[in-house]
Structure 1
Amino acid sequence: MRVCLITPQPDHPLLAAAAGLLRTAGHRVETLDPGTAAGPPAAPLADVYLLKARTPRALALARGLERQGAPVVNPSTATTLCQDRTAMAELALRAGLPFAATRTHDSLGVWAASGDPVPDGPVVVKSRHSRRHDLVARVDDAARLRELAAQWPQEPVVVQDFAPNSGWDHKLWAVGRRVFAALRRSELTPEGRGPTLPLALGELPEGWAELVLRVGEVFALDVYGVDVIDTGDGAPLVVDVNAFPGIRGQAGAPEALADLALTRAAAHHG
């Protein structure tokens, strides 16, 4: 099989380890850098493409490959949807997932200047468009809102009510039907984001692993992350979904990714 990685960083630990497993098994692994590629490659196409990039050029490249009939993991439409937190929330809530209620403002600066008061109790303000180093902050009062608006005046944002929790986020990932888990101190705590701690699946509250797989079905994702907080007595609240995250340090994740790539390639030919 020929497996192609769509990424500018083929040395990413997850990709490099999965690629090593595939090559050891006799498969060919190539890399397509969306930052330098002029467009979709000419035939013959690879048997499957792994889309580990979310830039406009990467998404355009993936769409071009899909138009030629190539299987792409994750599909470009699913990857694009996960970058828009408004669309993400709408889809999740329509599907009945326990997702945080989400409101949208086209401009943080306009909202802050509008006189529309901050809702009772703290809220979480996030960039509408998910990307590296985007805005994620807790807002308790109008003064904090004005402070953020001065730094991000033109930023489209979503607003979610702050749900009381332990201060730890459950970082859950799926590769195909394999679920992985870890704990990470929330970046909204006074101490800021802390290290990622391993978490056995058996330590998750009942039904959480099944919830992760349901998210994948709703969003048409094969490799993805789900951020969940425990609001009490094991009640989950999904606050974010990410297409093809890093999944660093999770034993078995490279093997799961290599198996998934071969399964998708075989299904395409089968």
Structure 2
Amino acid sequence: MRIGLITPEPGHPLLADTTALLAPEHTVEALDPVTLGEVPLPPADVYLLKSRTPHALGLARHLERQGAPVVNSAAATALCQDRTEMAELALRAGLPFAPTRTHGSLSTWAAEARLDAPVVVKSRRSRRGDLVARVDDAARLRELAREWPHEPVVVQDHAPNNGWDHKLWAIGDQVFSALRRSELSPGGRGPTRPLPAAELPPGWAGLVREVGTVFALDVYGVDIIDTGGGTPLIVDVNAFPGIRGQAGAPEALAALALRRAAERTRGAAEQ
């Protein structure tokens, strides 16, 4: 099989370990969406989209038009970059997602906002270095508005929790998990702690898989906070996150890539 990696960082630990598993029997080709000239032909049997830049999404869409399977699809990846669309889809599907309000610019909203309780303010567009902050009072809101005046934002009520984010990841049907001190906690983001999936509250692994179905994702992350007694609240969904340090993740990704490639080969043979 030929497996293509759409990424400027093929040395990322998850991709590098997956490549090492595949390379003895299969061909793995890295395609940097920025520097790539022409796409190698014929298309690979499957592509793994580990980038969310416009160049990467454009390349993925081009390959999909050629009939090549891309994991995750360009459409699913792009949807997870828009936190407004993400929340709308999740809530329509009945997922326990944080209610989300959208504002065209932070400065405009800050000028008229009346805070009765803490809120979480996030950039509407999810990206590296985006805005994610807890706001407890008008002074903090004005400070953020000076730093990010024109930023389109979403606002979520701050849900009481123990200060730990449950970082859940899925590759196909396999769920991985860890605990990470929330970046919104008073001490800021802390280290990641291992959390065996078997120790998740009942129903959480199934909830993660349901997110994958709703968002049409094969490789994804779900950020959940426990609002008390194991009651989950989803606060974010990410397409193809790093999934670093999770035993079995490279093996799961290699198996998924080969499965998708085999499905494409069988489909072509039946036509």
TM above 0.5: yes
Per-residue deviation, residues 206-238 of structure 1 (Å, max 9, x unmatched): 000000000000000000000000000000000
TM-score by length of structure 2 reads 0.97
Q: Structure 1 stretches (4+) deviating beyond 4 angstroms?
A: none
Give runs of aligned pairs for residues 108-187 of structure 1, distance below 5 A.
Answer: 108-113=106-111, 115-118=112-115, 120-187=116-183
| Counterpart check, 1:30 vs 2:29 | yes
Q: How much does 1:143 deviate?
A: 1.1
1:10 and 2:10 correspond: yes
How far does the alpha carbon of each residue in 1:36-84 deviate from its partner, in whole angstroms, 9 at most, with x for none? Answer: 1235x15311000000000000000000000010000000000000000
> Which letter maps to 1:74?
N
Amino acid at match of 1:75: S
Scaled by the length of structure 1, the TM-score of the pair is 0.97
Q: Deviations over 1:70-113 (max 9, x none)?
A: 00000000000000000000000000000000000010011112
Instruction: Work out the CA distance in 2 between the residues paired with 1:71 and 1:55.
Output: 19
In structure 1, give the amino acid aligned to 2:76. Answer: A
Q: Distance in 1 between matches of 2:124 and 2:37?
A: 29
Alpha-carbon distance in 1 for matches of 2:160, 2:109? 25
User: Partner of 2:269 in structure 1?
Assistant: none
Deviation, 1:142, is 1.1
Q: Give the superposed CA RMSD.
A: 0.8
Cα drift, residue 116 of structure 1: 2.8
Kindly report which structure 2 residues correspond to 1:1-270, keeping only aligned pairs within 5 A, or say none.
Answer: 1-24=1-24, 26-38=25-37, 41-113=39-111, 115-118=112-115, 120-270=116-266
Partner AA of 1:191 in structure 2:
G
For these two proteins, the number of residue pairs brought into alignment is: 266
Residues 167-207 of structure 1: CA deviation (Å, up to 9, x unaligned): 00000000001000000000001110001111011110000
Gaps of 5+ in 1: none
**Residue type matched to 1:244 in 2?**
F
Instruction: Give 2:159's aligned amino acid.
Output: A
The amino acid across from 1:116 in the alignment is A
In 1, Cα distance between equivalents of 2:171 and 2:113 = 42
SS at match of 2:15: helix
Identity %: 73
